[in-house]
Amino acid sequence: MLSGFKKFLMRGNVVELAIAVVIGAAFTAIVNSFVKDILTPLIAAIGGQPDFSGLTLRIGAGEIRYGLFLNALIAFLMVAAVIYFLVVRPYEKISARFAAREEATHRECPECLSEIPSAAVRCAQCTASVTPVR
């Protein structure tokens, strides 16, 4: 029974998922600190008010605290912007750079449409003569 559990835990996807959760939690702390400690004070310096939690609307005996919603919305937008501009965009640029370097090593035969090496002068499947791509 324990050997099956050990095999389950040592599977690659379980270990990778555990690592991803730990790294994700650490990265979340970094992004939240960046937003809370750097961006929010900058917005406060520009806009004059860093915290909207005091904004409320009274309706009868009830109280709608829309300021808390505004705080959460602004924090979400700032976190999304940080993720997009500091993670997604650089990752896309790096991925595009590496993808451009990869050259096609195979192509289709014009006669039988099988996959042949780019430098081939004859198709291995149908023996048709093809022009090599260099």
SS3 category, 117 = strand
Q: 78 lies in a domain? A: no
Q: 17 lies in a domain? A: yes
Q: 116 lies in a domain? A: no
Q: 88 lies in a domain? A: no
74: which residues sit within 8 A by CB, 6+ positions away? Answer: 43, 52
Q: Which helix (H) or strand (E) holds 115?
A: strand 115-117
CA–CA distance, 39 with 75 (Å, rounded to integer): 9
When divided into structural domains, the chain yields a total of 1
- Evaluate whether 119 touches 134 at the Cβ level (below 8 Å): yes
- Evaluate whether 79 touches 31 at the Cβ level (below 8 Å): yes
DSSP string, 15-75: HHHHHHHHHHHHHHHHHHHHIIIIIHHHHHHHHS-S--TT--EEETTEEE-HHHHHHHHHH
Task: Report yes or no on whether pTM surpasses 0.75.
Answer: no
How many residues belong to the chain?
134
Q: Which helix (H) or strand (E) holds 2?
A: helix 2-10
Q: 45 lies in a domain? A: yes
Boundaries of domain holding 15: 1-50
pLDDT in tens, the chain (134 residues): 788 877 777 776 777 888 889 998 998 899 888 888 888 788 778 877 777 888 899 999 999 998 888 888 888 888 888 889 988 899 999 888 877 666 678 889 998 999 998 888 999 889 999 988 76
Q: 65 lies in a domain? A: no
Q: 82 lies in a domain? A: no
SS3 category, 133 = coil
Q: 34 lies in a domain? A: yes
